[in-house]
Amino acid sequence: MAEIEALIKALSGHGVDEKTVISILGNSQPEHRQAFRKEGGFFAEDERRFERWNDHHVKLLKHEFMRFKNAVVLWAMHPWERDARLIKEALKKGPNSNSVIVEIASTRSSDELLGARKAYHSLFEHSIEEDVASHIHGKEKKLLVALVSAYRYEGPKIKEDVAKSEAKALISAVKNAEKQNPIENDEVVRILSTRSKPHLKSVFKHYKEIAGQHFEDELDVHLILQAAVQCLITPQSYFSRVLDEAMRDGADKNTKKGLTRVLVTRADVDIRAISDDYRNHYAIPLADKIEAKAKGSYKEFLLTLMARGS
């Protein structure tokens, strides 16, 4: 039935199309709902002969209904508290969320990261660095601790000769990847976590010139290391990739959260640039993609954030 399809669609995706749910489900008679239960896929035939809600689906629905609320709460939050809470959540979720920690540590300004560190003290009575150091155990630990501890110089001054020699150090670390994963290489960690962003742009420019290819295209580079470099040098590309992955069909729960996180954290910063990058990369305007994939109040909220002031 067309209506059942419409109802299923209203309940699938990012957020919930409340209007459609109200108009279809709210107007439904018992036999309509039964048809929905039999065909929707959200229910299963119970041994005692009734169509029973699939618990897992109820949970998923809960997340979808909460998506709007979470976006609102995150948006209203002070950026420092927001970043502190995002980092804490990422730590709790485990290694798959390590990229979120990299994202926050690397794309914020020095003072924004500092503020997040202080807010973390207030919220959790520990420092970010101590929690990251004690909860993360993989190869990426060194780099992550260093990235969250950074207080980068933000002036434009670059020493080209230093940048060149540091590019060479990175090349040698990548060449040596079989003996030691570059993400654990002390020089790689030092360069990425202490140098200013303008300096790093120059380092990677030299890298490309000397090695003949971009650092991110090297095969043996740990995903987290790639993410760090992207976040530091070309954050807009990084963010548009996160958005694309979030809106892909079949994206898992944590990946989907990227949509809210990027929109809310970048709406005041560089969402237009991210939008442009998105359109260049994925051949569809970001707003159109959100229109297609998100639903209801959640969708309206995100689109409103994007359109502010224009």
From 91, 105, 150, 259, residue interacting with other proteins (rule: CB under 8 A): 150
Contact 128, 116 (CB under 8 A): yes
CA–CA distance, 257 with 268 (Å, rounded to integer): 19
Of 28, 149, 181, 234, the one binding other proteins (CB under 8 A) is 149
**Does 121 sit near other proteins (CB under 8 A)?**
yes
Number of residues that bind other proteins (CB under 8 A): 27
Which residues between 101 and 120 bind other proteins (CB under 8 A)?
114, 117-118
Joined together, the tokens standing for residue 52 give 């029973």
Question: Exposed, middle or buried, 132 (CB in 10 Å: 0-12/13-18/19+)?
Answer: buried
Q: Is 195 in the site for other proteins (CB under 8 A)?
A: yes
Binding of residue 129 to other proteins (CB under 8 A) = yes
Based on the shown chain and the rule CB under 8 A, indicate whether residue 164 belongs to the binding site for other proteins.
Answer: no
The least CB distance from residue 266 to other proteins, in Å, is 24
Binds other proteins by CB under 8 A, chosen from 127, 181, 234, 254: 127
Q: Which is nearer to other proteins, 6 or 158 (CB)?
A: 158
- Degrees to nearest 5, angle at CA 5 with 4 and 7: 65
Euclidean distance between the first and the last CA atom of the chain, given in angstroms as a whole number: 41
Number of other residues whose CB lies within 10 A of the CB of residue 73: 13
Half-sphere exposure of 101 (CA within 13 A, CB side): 33
Give the CA distances from residue 9 to residues 51, 71, 290, 292, in Å, rounded to whole numbers and listed in that order: 20, 21, 15, 11
- Alpha-carbon distances, residue 295 vs 4, 15, 46, 187 (angstroms): 17, 5, 31, 46
The upper half-sphere exposure of residue 57, i.e. CA atoms within 13 Å in the direction of its Cβ, equals: 12
Q: How far is the CB of 140 from other proteins (least distance, A)?
A: 13
Q: Give me the least distance between CB of 130 and other proteins, in Å please.
A: 4
* Member of 99, 196, 265, 297 binding other proteins (CB under 8 A): 196
- Read off the tokens for 95: 């290694």
34 scored as a contact of other proteins (CB under 8 A): no
Q: Does 134 bind other proteins (CB under 8 A)?
A: yes
Given candidates 78, 190, 248, 308, which one binds other proteins under the rule CB under 8 A?
Answer: 190
Q: Is 186 in the site for other proteins (CB under 8 A)?
A: yes
Task: Determine which residue in the list 9, 19, 38, 126 makes contact with other proteins, applying CB under 8 A.
Answer: 126
Of 157 and 179, CB closest to other proteins: 157
- Out of 49, 56, 157, 179, point to the residue binding other proteins (CB under 8 A): 157
Does 146 interact with other proteins (rule: CB under 8 A)? yes
SS3 content of the chain, % helix, strand, coil (to 5): 70, 5, 25
Q: Which residues bind other proteins (CB under 8 A)?
A: 114, 117-118, 121, 125-127, 129-130, 133-134, 145-146, 149-155, 157, 186, 190, 193-196
